[in-house]
Chain A
Amino acid sequence: MAIRTTVVGSYPKPPDEGQTFTVRKTLHAIERGDATGDDLKRARDKLAARHIAEQEEAGIDLVTDGLARWDDILTPFARTIRGFEIGGLLRWFDNNVYYRRPICIGDLEWGGPSSVEDLRYAKSVTSKPVKAVLPGPVTFARLSVDEHYGDHDRFVEAIARVVAQEAFELEAAGADVIQIDEPALLDAPEDLQLAKEAIGTITSELKSTTTLLCTYFGDAKRLGRELFDLPVDGFGFDLISGPENANLIADAPSSKIVQAGVIDARNTKLEDATSVAATLEQLAQKIGEDALWASPSAGLEFLPREKARAKLHLLAEAARKVGA
Chain B
Amino acid sequence: MKKPDLQGPGLWTTSVGSFPKPEYLTKARSRFARKEIDRAELRELEEKATREWIEFQDSIGTDVVVDGEMYRGDMVAFFAEEMPGLEIGGLVRSYGNRYYRKPIATGPVGRDHAITVDWWKFAQSLTDAPVKGMLTGPYTICDWSFNEHYDTRRDFVLDLARAVRDEALDLERAGARFIQIDEPAASTRMDELDLVIESMQIVTEPLSAHTITHICYGDFHHAYPKMLDIPVDQIDLEFANSEYSLLQDFEDAPFTKYIGLGISDVHSHELESVDELAEGIRRALKYIPADRIFVDPDCGLKTRTVDEAKEKLSNIRKAVDVVRAEL
Contacts and interface: CB of A to CB of B under 8 A. Distances in A.
Interface of A: 12-14, 17, 21, 24, 27-28, 71-72, 88-91, 94, 96-100, 267-269, 301-307
Contact of B217 (A12, A90, A267, A268): A90
Given A27-B97, A98-B217, 5 more contacts: A12-B92, A90-B217, A97-B94, A303-B92, A304-B102
A269 B148 CA distance: 5
A14 B265 contact: no
Closest 3 CB pairs of A and B: A304-B90, A98-B95, A14-B91
9 contacts: A71-B95, A94-B189, A97-B93, A269-B146, A269-B148, A301-B92, A303-B92, A304-B89, A307-B90
B96 to A, nearest CB: 5
A22 to B, nearest CB: 12
Given A89-B241, A89-B267, A267-B147, A305 B99 contact: no
Contacts of B187: 91
A98 B94 contact: yes
Contact of A88 (B89, B90, B96, B265): B265
- B contacts with A: majority SS: loop
Interface in B92-140: 92-97, 99, 102, 104
B241 A96 contact: no
B97 A89 contact: no
Contact of A89 (B92, B144, B147, B217): B217
Contacts of A305: 90-91
Contacts of B217: 89-91, 98
A89 B95 contact: yes
Contacts of A12: 91-93
Given A14-B99, A88-B267, A96-B185, A267 B148 contact: yes
B256 interface: no
B201 interface: no
B90 A14 contact: yes
A305 B326 CA distance: 55
A268 B188 CA distance: 20
B159 interface: no
Nearest to B140: A96
Contacts of B175: none
A28 B97 contact: yes
Nearest to A95: B188
B242 interface: yes
Interface in B183-213: 185, 187-189
B87 to A, nearest CB: 10
A267 B265 CA distance: 31
Nearest to A266: B146
Nearest to A267: B146
B308 interface: no
A25 to B, nearest CB: 10
Contacts of B267: 88-89
Given A89-B267, A268-B104, A24 B147 contact: no
A139 B96 CA distance: 20
